[in-house]
Structure 1
Amino acid sequence: MTRSQTASTELGAESTVGAQRRSVAVLALATVLGGLGVGASLSAGALLIADVTGNPALSGFGSTMNAVGAAAAGIPLARLAARKGRRIALASGNLLAVGGAVLVIVAALVEAPVLLFAGLAVLGVAAAVQLQARFAATDLATPTRRARDLSLVVWSITVGAVIGPNLIGPGEALGSVLGLHALSGIFVFTIVAQLCAGLVVWFGLRPDPLLEARRIAARRAPSSFSAPQAGAVSGSASASPGFRRSSQFLAVALVALGHAVMVGIMAMTPLHLTHHGGSIELVGITISIHIAGMYALSPLAGIAAGRFGAIPVVIAGFVVLGASALGTALGGASVPVVQTSLVLLGLGWCMVTVAGAALVTALTPEADRPARQGQADTTMNAAGALFGAASGVLFAAGGFPVLSTVAGALVIVGIAVSVRLGAIARR
């Protein structure tokens, strides 16, 4: 290689590093803004359903419809990203979420439950955008920094998750001023937040990380194209397509299993606490520290995955989820045990989700990544919705002990799949 070629390569590498830093910063900011809307709407959705329908028993459908919408949007957003790039896909998702918030406001005005459920489902696209954003952070990342950069975007969800629920009061005041249903006022904040997030992505995500990654890959020698390794798994680009696909589907299954365990136990925690005399304030505190466990330490999970490999971190995450299930099964009326278990539940979910998402990316050739990432998001949300719905039946059958036992069985499956995937990677 000549001196001029070497200089050109170094300049290109520096340019890529700079583009990646900008992409992560833009994605994190957009996720913070979008998260404000998501956190606010999830908090008010259940209350609004109970008020519009007159049936508090239906209030749980708010989170269910949100999960359904997120699951339905995962693959279409990924396909749009594959054709047009991350910028157009993410901004389009933000715009759809704005439409969902408008539907919710209109439904509350005319007291139309069906329209309200539809609006909450469309608003679920905002959650799908957050999931897609974490994958966008990996497009230009080096393999050893992939999990870390992904985790930084996941961490930025913390801001919206913490601040969002506190906007209910101001939202009610705004709704009254605008002549809206008081509980729908908070969705005005959601509209503004999603619009701002979309604008940040549209104007800030340049160059588009996915399209830029493809241009870089096109300049490489064919032999260096998308070898899945470096901090995630050991492997070879020469493996057969069937071999690679099976490992990708196993990685997707790991993320789905971890998410299902988290959603199932979390969904029944409020009922468990109130059945043992806990107050609404206690429920709020418990869920808040659980959310902190989910997101606050995500950069550490990303750093660990980059240093020790994704599969060991995923296995460790399932072990933490198992400890959480054991705590909820045996905790009974002990608030400290239940709260500790919920913190562990969030931490285990974080480890599995961050390392698992990095694993899906590392195992998938660059050309196929958007599609596989979309499948991972859809599968993850669908698994959460299914086990979340089943958790009510299991809880009714035997409380937390029965629910936690089934969750523990899913944890064992997750560890077995992780070990299997590790064996495949070593081969």
Structure 2
Amino acid sequence: MRHAHPATSTDTPLTTAPTVSISTVQKRTLTVLLVSQVLSGAGLAAGVTVAGLLAGQMLHTTSLSGLPIALLTAGSAVAAVVIGRVSQRHGRRPGLVTGYLTGALGGAGVVVAAALGNPVLLFVSLFLYGAGTTSNLQARYAGADLAAPHQRARATSTVIVATTAGGIAGPLLAAPTGHLATALHLPEPTGLFLLSTAAFTLAALTLLIRLRPDPLTLARSLPAASVESAPADSLSRSGPGLLVGVVVLVLSQLVMVAVMTMTPIHMHAHGFGTAASGLVIALHTGSMYLPSPLAGRLVDRFGASAMSVVTAGTLLTAGVVAALAPGHSLPLITLALILLGIGWSFGLVTGTTIVTSSTPLATRAKVQGLVDVAIALAGAVAGLASGIVVAATSYPILAALCGTLALAAAPAAIVAARRSVKRA
């Protein structure tokens, strides 16, 4: 038997590597991904926390406050296709690095656009910035490439949870980075984009140097039985399973983005400042990523069907709480955003596990990229529509509509699971 090349070598495939060697490489892969996710998590803060406020200041209107989120998520959609195809051909590392560097370029462009007062450059830069968010999201697939089938959800959740530290720290740095921007004679909201530029760049360098061997390239060189077999959940093995995975992911993203986008604007309208909205978004971001290990264990133990129903119920509860919360009640608004984050976390882990287990390894990266296009487009629609809905009606109505929409994930999962059982 030939022995595997050391994990610290190049991307040479391990065709007959012992199980223990693959396990070692997987642990190393997860460690490197954890570091890059912490860094890139901090880079996500700008788009969530201050992009809407910055656009409102430059355009002198709040009706288009959802446009920045729409632009960066549209950029995420394009980036998802590119990253997916690059990963399919060359491995995870080149794809993720390309996305992070593009996001860093976009963050720098936002700073320049704000300094010049140029809305066109702002919109183009926000579009590019979306590529950084795509890389952060697609890193979860890299964590599952070498995972045993019955541990895919936990491997995925391990990568997701690493975003917590940076995701919480980023919004909390809104005020300090704002002071830095002011000292540099830049608009205050650009401070977080300075942070994003540095964070995405460091994440790219971490992967470029340390993510060796490439997990997807290595997975393709292994015996099919070790990476292709799906977990016991019949939903994950079925044709309809892929569609349900997409539905869960898309609805989770749509509901989360729509409510999250307008929450800082809603709070600002009721007298809250940047520090308060930053705190709420920080707690929301933490709740998006921190519960993911729990979600991974629950999916591996009880199956994706059950967790799809749990996801729908959690998002519905978040929408109801947000709709009923008085505009001056910081505790209730915070609770709603925390529940919103938890529901999104459950949906992301559940949907990702379904998609990964329903797709052959030979085309997995390409399909995953296309799935993330759907996620990004859902976010773009939600970001743009949220501002229009609130301007035409109110924030509580938006929250109630989103919560109700989330319920569609539950019957979809149940119907698909029943169909797959009948076919078995």
Q: TM-score range by the shorter chain?
A: 0.7 to 0.9
Change (3 A) 1:384 1:271: same
Which position in structure 1 is the counterpart of 2:350?
355
Amino acid at match of 1:323: T
Q: Which amino acid aligns with 2:136?
A: Q
The farther-off stretch of 42-51 and 88-97 is: 42-51
Tell me how far apart the structure 2 counterparts of residues 280 and 179 of structure 1 sit (CA, whole Å).
19
8 Å CA contact 1:174–1:186 kept in 2: the answer is: no
In structure 2, the residue matched to 1:88 is 94
- Separation in 1 of the partners of 2:181 and 2:236? 56
Aligned twin of 2:11 = none
Residue 233 of structure 1 pairs with residue 263 of structure 2: no
**Once the two structures are aligned, what percentage of the paired residues are identical?**
34
Q: Could you list the per-position Cα deviations for residues 243-278 of structure 1 after superposition, in whole angstroms to 9, with x for gaps in the alignment?
A: 63x431231121101211222223333455556666
Contact preservation (8 Å) 1:40, 1:167: no
Bigger radius of gyration, 1 or 2? 1
Superposed displacement of residue 172, structure 1:
4.5
Identify the match of residue 251 of structure 1 among 242, 245, 253: 245
Give the residue type in structure 2 aligned to 1:416: P
Counterparts of 1:284 and 1:181 in 2: how far apart (Å)?
A: 17
Amino acid at match of 2:316: G
Q: Which residue of 1 aligns with 2:152?
A: 146
Return the alpha-carbon distance in structure 2 between the equivalents of residues 267 and 89 of structure 1: 28
Distance 2:406 2:48 in 1: 27
| Residues 387-406 of structure 1 aligned to structure 2 (within 5 Å) | 387-400=382-395, 402-406=397-401
Q: For residues 118 and 385 of structure 1, what CA distance do their matches in structure 2 show?
A: 14
Offset of 1:64 from its aligned partner?
2.4
Contact 1:40 1:166 in 2 (8 A): no
| DSSP 3-state at the match of 2:93 | helix
Q: Does 1:111 align with 2:117?
A: yes
Q: 1:341 aligns with which of 336, 346, 364?
A: 336
Compute the RMSD of aligned alpha carbons.
3.0
* Partner secondary structure for residue 227 of structure 1: coil
SS of the aligned residue for 2:234 comes to coil
2:315 to 298, 314, 321: 321
- Structure 1 residue 15 displacement after superposition: 0.8
103, 106, 116: which one pairs with 1:100?
A: 106
Q: CA deviation at 1:71?
A: 1.8
Distance 1:59 1:411, change over 3 A: closer
Q: Out of 68, 74, 84, which is 2:80 matched to?
A: 74
Alignment of 1:199-278 (within 5 A): 199-216=205-222, 219-220=223-224, 226-230=228-232, 232-233=233-234, 244=239, 246-273=240-267
Kindly indicate whether the alpha-carbon contact (under 8 Å) linking 1:228 and 1:365 is maintained by their aligned counterparts in 2. Answer: no
- How many positions carry a matched residue from both structures? 412
Judge conservation of contact 2:241–2:354 (CA < 8 Å) in 1: no
Offset of 1:196 from its aligned partner?
1.3
Deviations along 1:206-264, one digit per CA (max 9) or x if unpaired, are: 11000000000xx347xx8723334x43676xxxxxx63x4312311211012112222
How far apart are 1:337 and its partner, in Å? 4.0
Tell me if the contact between 2:101 and 2:201 (Cα under 8 Å) persists in the aligned partners.
yes
* Unmatched 5+ stretches in structure 1: 237-242
SS of 1:137 mapped into structure 2: helix
Q: Work out the CA distance in 2 between the residues paired with 1:316 and 1:258.
A: 12
* Structural mapping, 1:282-321, within 5 Å: 282-321=276-315
Deviation at 1:359, TM superposition (A): 1.0
Distance 1:272 1:119, change over 3 A: closer
- Are 2:319 and 2:336, in contact at CA under 8 Å, matched by a contact in 1? yes
Question: How far does residue 185 in structure 1 lie from its aligned partner after superposition?
Answer: 5.0
Q: Check 1:407–1:174 CA distance in 2 against 1; reply closer, same or farther (3 A cut).
A: closer
Moved more, 56-65 or 96-105: 56-65
Matched residue SS, 1:124: helix
Contact 2:3 2:18 in 1 (8 A): no
Q: Which amino acid aligns with 1:288?
A: A
Secondary structure of 1:207's partner? coil
Q: Name the residue aligned to 1:121.
A: 127
1:425 pairs with 2:405: no
Tell whether the 8 Å contact from 1:138 to 1:146 is kept in structure 2 after alignment: yes
Q: Is the 8 A contact 1:251 1:421 kept in 2?
A: no
Shift of 1:96: 1.2
Distance 1:189 1:326 in 2: 34
Of residues 138, 142, 149, the one that matches 1:132 is: 138
The answer to whether the Cα contact below 8 Å between 1:291 and 1:346 also exists between their aligned partners in 2 is: yes
Residues 290 and 328 from structure 1, CA distance in 2 versus in 1: closer, same or farther, beyond 3 angstroms? same
Residue 405 to residue 44, structure 1, CA distance change in 2 (3 Å): closer
- Shift of the 167–6 alpha-carbon distance from structure 1 to 2, 3 Å rule, reads closer
Q: Secondary structure at the match of 1:140?
A: coil
Aligned CA distance change for structure 1 residues 285 and 193 (closer, same or farther; 3 Å): closer
**Structure 1 residues 275-308: Cα deviation after superposition (integer angstroms, max 9, x where no partner):** 6666665544433332222122111111111111
In 2, Cα distance between the equivalents of 1:42 and 1:235? 32
Alignment partner of 1:411 out of 406, 409, 421: 406
For 2:253 and 2:236, locate their aligned partners in 1 and report how far apart those are by CA, in whole Å: 26
1:372 maps to amino acid: V
Give 1:370's aligned residue. 365
- Which runs of 5 or more structure 2 residues have no equivalent in the other structure? 5-13
Greater mean deviation of Cα atoms: 273-282 or 394-403: 273-282
Instruction: Point out the more displaced range, 53-62 or 84-93.
Output: 53-62
Residues 106, 303 of structure 1: alpha-carbon distance in 2 compared, 3 angstrom cutoff: same
Q: TM-score, normalised by structure 1?
A: 0.86
Q: 1:23 aligns with which of 29, 34, 41?
A: 29
What residue identity is the alignment partner of 2:408? Answer: V
Query: How big is each residue's C-alpha offset from its partner over 1:392-413, in whole Å with a ceiling of 9 and x where there is no partner?
Result: 3443454355334432432221
Paired with 2:178 and 2:275, the residues of 1 have a C-alpha distance of: 20
Q: Distance in 2 between matches of 1:285 and 1:410?
A: 27
Q: Distance in 2 between matches of 1:194 and 1:316?
A: 33
Shift in Å at residue 391 of structure 1? 3.0
Is the 2:244–2:351 contact (alpha carbons within 8 Å) kept by the matching residues of 1?
Answer: no
